Amino acid sequence: MPEPVLRLEKLRKSFGALLVTDDLTLDVMPRELHAVIGPNGAGKTTLINQISGLIAPDSGSILFHGHDITGMPVDARARLGLARSFQVSSVLPGFSALENVALAVQSRSGSSLRLFGRAAEEAGLNEPAMAALGDVGLAERAQVPAGELAHGEKRALELAIALAMRPKILLLDEPMAGTGREETARLIAVLRRLKGRFSVVLVEHDMTAVFALADRISVLLYGRILASGTAAAVRADARVVAAYLGEEME
């Protein structure tokens, strides 16, 4: 039985009187694409924020490759190989699409405490950045300021940025949020190509994407994992159908 890449143990988080994460335990295995689904308000984004370090859990622990990262700051986790995308596009609007990705590449290639040398001209940064942009279909829009990109393009850029970090685990918070059918299909194709390279935690509402991509699915309800297993197992689970998928079918 291989060691999980990411293990969440009895994670708990309240905001005032509201319990958002309730004794949550979850394992993500190496190279698997693990989808997390659940109705709005189930605590999915809060979960991602706790894993990436933006929010500190009240109790419980997070282990990454066996190391306890529960108290680690955001940037340290990223340096360990934990990359994430944001539900609301969080690109650098004044930077071009290329420079956004080049910055991500930069974080993985040597020191950034260099005060000299023109970063914009470093082939070592620009080439991998262009490759990542190509992967998500944004190669032609490389020079466009990220703030001027269309919504779907921004979502693609989010993905490219995360990929450029050459992560060991990729946390995707609703990458298809608000994208049209074509864009969604393209993102699904990209993710399918990347499957198996590293672990992915995919939070999504779009069931087509989830069933097309996921190796395993966990269902989150009121801050707890209701059920966890293969797509077929979860679909058949009566509790899940009643609580979540059942509502969807209405």
Partner 1 sequence: MPASLAASPIRRREGFPAATLPATIFLVLALLPTVTWITGGSYLISVGSRVMIFAIAAVALDLLVGYAALISFGHAAFIGLGAYAVGILSAYGFTDALVSLPVALAVSAAYAFLTGLVCLRTKGVYFIMITLAFGQMAFFTASSLAPFGGDDGLTIAARNTFAGFPVLRNERVFYYIVFFCLLGTYLFCRALVASRFGRVVRGAKENPIRVSTLGFDVYRFQLATYVIAGALAGLSGFLLANAAEFVSPAYMSWQRSGELIVMVLLGGLGSLDGAVIGAAVYLLTEEWLSAFTENWKVIFGPVLVLIVLFARGGLLGLTSALARRITRA
Q: Is 73 in the site for partner 1 (CB under 8 A)?
A: yes
Nearest approach, Cβ of residue 2 and partner 1 (Å): 26
Query: What is the C-alpha separation between 60 and 86, in angstroms, rounded?
Result: 23
Q: Which of 21, 106, 199, 218 binds partner 1 (CB under 8 A)?
A: 106
Select the residue interacting with partner 1 from 11, 37, 42, 83 (CB under 8 A): 83
Maximum Cα interatomic distance, the chain, rounded to a whole number of Å: 61
Which helix H or strand E contains 246, and what residues bound it? helix 246-249
Q: Which stretch binds partner 1 (CB under 8 A): 6-14, 113-121, 185-193, 207-215?
A: 113-121
DSSP 140: G
Is the Cβ of residue 161 or residue 221 nearer to partner 1 in the bound state? 161
What SS3 state is found at 75?
helix
Our finding on whether 114 is near partner 1 (CB under 8 A) is yes
Burial class (CB in 10 A: 0-12, 13-18, 19+), 49: buried
143 touching partner 1, by CB under 8 A: yes
Can residue 200 be called a binding residue for partner 1 (CB under 8 A)? no
Q: Is 192 in the site for partner 1 (CB under 8 A)?
A: no
- Answer for which of 86, 170, 219, 228 binds partner 1 (CB under 8 A) is 86
Q: Residues touching partner 1: how many (CB under 8 A)? A: 47
CA distance 164 to 43: 27
Note whether 160 binds partner 1 by CB under 8 A.
no
- The rounded distance, in Å, linking the Cα atoms of 157 and 198 is 19
Q: State the Cα torsion 159-164-168-171 to the nearest 10°.
A: -20
Q: Does 237 bind partner 1 (CB under 8 A)?
A: no
Q: How far is the CB of 48 from partner 1 (least distance, A)?
A: 11
Q: Residue 49 and residue 86: Cα distance in Å, rounded?
A: 9
Rule CB under 8 A: say whether 136 interacts with partner 1: no
The verdict on 40 binding partner 1 (CB under 8 A) reads no
- Class of residue 145 by CB neighbours under 10 A (exposed 0-12, middle 13-18, buried 19+): middle
User: Phi-psi region for residue 38, left (φ > 0), alpha (ψ -120 to 50) or beta?
Assistant: left
Query: Contact between 197 and partner 1 (CB under 8 A)?
Result: no
Q: Could you say whether residue 126 binds partner 1 (CB under 8 A)?
A: yes
Q: Which is nearer to partner 1, 91 or 240 (CB)?
A: 91
Angle at 136 between CA 133 and CA 137, to 5 degrees: 80
**Which residues of the shown chain bind partner 1 in the complex (CB under 8 A)?**
52, 54, 73-76, 78-79, 83-84, 86, 90-96, 98-99, 102-104, 106-108, 111-123, 125-126, 129-130, 142-143, 161, 165
